[in-house]
Amino acid sequence: MKAFHGTLIHSPELGEIEILENTLLLVADNGRIEAVEPRIERGEVNAFLQSRGLLLQGSAIAAATENGDKNVTIHYLARTQFLIPGFVDTHNHAPQWAMRGLGQGLHILDWLDRITFPQEARFADAAHARRVYARCVDGFLQQGVTTASYYGSRHPQATDVLADLCFEKGQRALVGKCNMDRNAPDTYRDADAEESLRDTEACIAHVQSVDPGGKLLQYVLTPRFAITCTPTLLRGLGDIAARSKQSTSTTHNHPEGMAIQTHFNEAEQEMASTRELFPEFRDEVELYSHFGLLTPRTILAHCCYATDSEMDRLGELGCGVAHCPISNMTVGGGFMAAPIRAFLDRGIPVGLGTDSGGGFSSSMLDAMRQALVASNAREVQSSGKLKGLSIPEVFHLATQGGANVCGLGDKVGTIEVGKEFDALLVDANPARPGVMTMVEDDDSLATVFEKFVMTGDDRNIEQVFVGGRLVKS
């Protein structure tokens, strides 16, 4: 077992930050949080552990074995250290890891044609996929992303490689082969809807064979967006989603069926092209719901231009929003500040996404900061109607909010008894100095936390745990 004594910080509810000082945290050997006991002084820890049949590792190991008690290793946190939940990245493109920062300022469809599709086409080579994806997963874990919802390339073999690496390296992940059977280069699109669906079924089977219990991996149906999918393909993916909800043949099933992700109301150029291809639908909500792709497991990336009627309908359907403030303001064509306050006011689940490489940064800390900027811009645009976000709110979106969007809110997102121990050990005063604002002797814990959120980086993230497993040290 693992035990920690010190400060824990999490956000169980939107806008709420809970700072638990002098808290003893126990993590069982199955990776679940067994106890969260606040207001225990350091000198009282040993007696409390003994009351639970636990013995500190060291001289007591022999007695523990003899008496049948469990031994436990404890980590005492310093004043500048604290535990927070792992970050949940609700939207990113694993094949774009090596092209982050390229093509900034291009309109979305131009960016896809000139930068993205040529880069993603290279993933037909499984060796190339393994090299880039290994760096990608390592990079996200380095920055404290314990859960990620990944778009793969259109290639099934490369998508299998991505799933394998997430599982091997210990990252919790939703992984999906990108479905696209039109409006892409001949070198980078599925031959037809039948091939795309067949490859999708094979990838689903692979993910479920790699992690039969679904402890870390889930498959996520991934139509890139309506522009690159024929009606036949969209209908076939909707059929898979419907069957997954009805089936009880696998432990990967969620009560609401398989996860789905796509881009939604991202940019004016994209929306205009969608209307030309699907003139029979009033808007994108009507389009995707017609094909059975809007469910409580659906993750809609961007949502920059959603109308009031679309937002009301999304609330009824239970879909989640992946807010990607960095890419919204650098790729797509315009300064796109999504109306996140309007989604939150309707009770629609919202999480943050890095969207790297559309977003130049793969840091969830950067995504939180940019979410503040975007919300302030939206407040001005709305003449004060849509209030800007706060630091507690963006922290919630990066943790519990993102977990809710990914259908994992009952498993991760906060540090609570019964949840998986997906957590970051943050040190505001690390041995290797970074750029974070210095911590002063009279700083409160709330001040130290605010300094980390606004100025810290991966150098302040000393350790990363996923399901109790140490994946960065």
- Extended strands (E) in 38-152: 54-56, 70-76, 81-85, 87-93, 145-151
pLDDT of residue 343: 98
CB 92 within 8 A of CB 152: no
Distance from the Cα of residue 308 to its chain's centroid:
26
Average pLDDT, the chain: 93
Dig out the tokens for 41 from the structure.
Answer: 């002084």
Q: 251 pLDDT exceeds 70?
A: no
pLDDT tens digits for 66-87?
444 567 889 999 999 999 999 9
Mean pLDDT of 31-59: 85
Q: Which residues contact 243 (CB under 8 A, 6 or more apart)?
A: none
98-109 tens-digit pLDDT: 999 999 888 888
Residue pointed to by tokens 């003139």 = 279
Which residue type, as a one-letter code, is found at position 2?
K
253-307 confidence digits (pLDDT tens): 688 899 999 999 998 989 999 999 999 999 999 999 999 999 999 999 999 999 9
pLDDT of residue 60: 36
pTM, full prediction: 0.95
In this prediction, residue 252 carries a pLDDT of 64
Which tens digit of pLDDT belongs to each residue from 329-387? 988 777 789 999 999 999 999 999 999 888 899 999 999 999 999 999 999 999 999 99
* Whether residue 407 has a cis bond before it, omega within 30° of 0: no
292: left (phi over 0), alpha (psi -120 to 50) or beta: left
pLDDT of residue 61: 31
Which amino acid would we find at residue 457?
Answer: D
- Predicted local confidence at residue 403, as pLDDT: 98
**What is residue 342's predicted lDDT score, i.e. its pLDDT?**
97
- The fraction of the chain above a pLDDT of 90, given in percent, is 85
Strands 81-85 vs 423-427: parallel, antiparallel or unpaired: antiparallel
Predicted local distance difference test score (pLDDT) of residue 70: 67
* Residue 59 predicted with pLDDT over 90: no
201-242: per-residue pLDDT in tens?
Answer: 999 999 999 999 999 999 999 999 999 999 999 999 999 999
Residue 305: its pLDDT value, please? 93
Q: Is the pLDDT of residue 13 over 50?
A: yes
From residue 182, give the alpha-carbon distance in Å to each of 98, 192, 224, 234.
25, 8, 11, 12
> What are the DSSP calls for 267-280, one per residue?
-HHHHHHHHHH-TT
User: What pLDDT score does 428 carry?
Assistant: 95
pLDDT tens column, 412-425: 999 999 999 999 99
The DSSP letter of residue 295 is S
Task: Find the mean pLDDT for residues 148-162.
Answer: 98
In our burial notation (b when 16+ CB lie closer than 10 A, e otherwise), range 338-372 reads bbbbbbbeeebbbbbbbbbbbbbbbbbbbbbbbbb
* 189 pLDDT higher than 90: yes
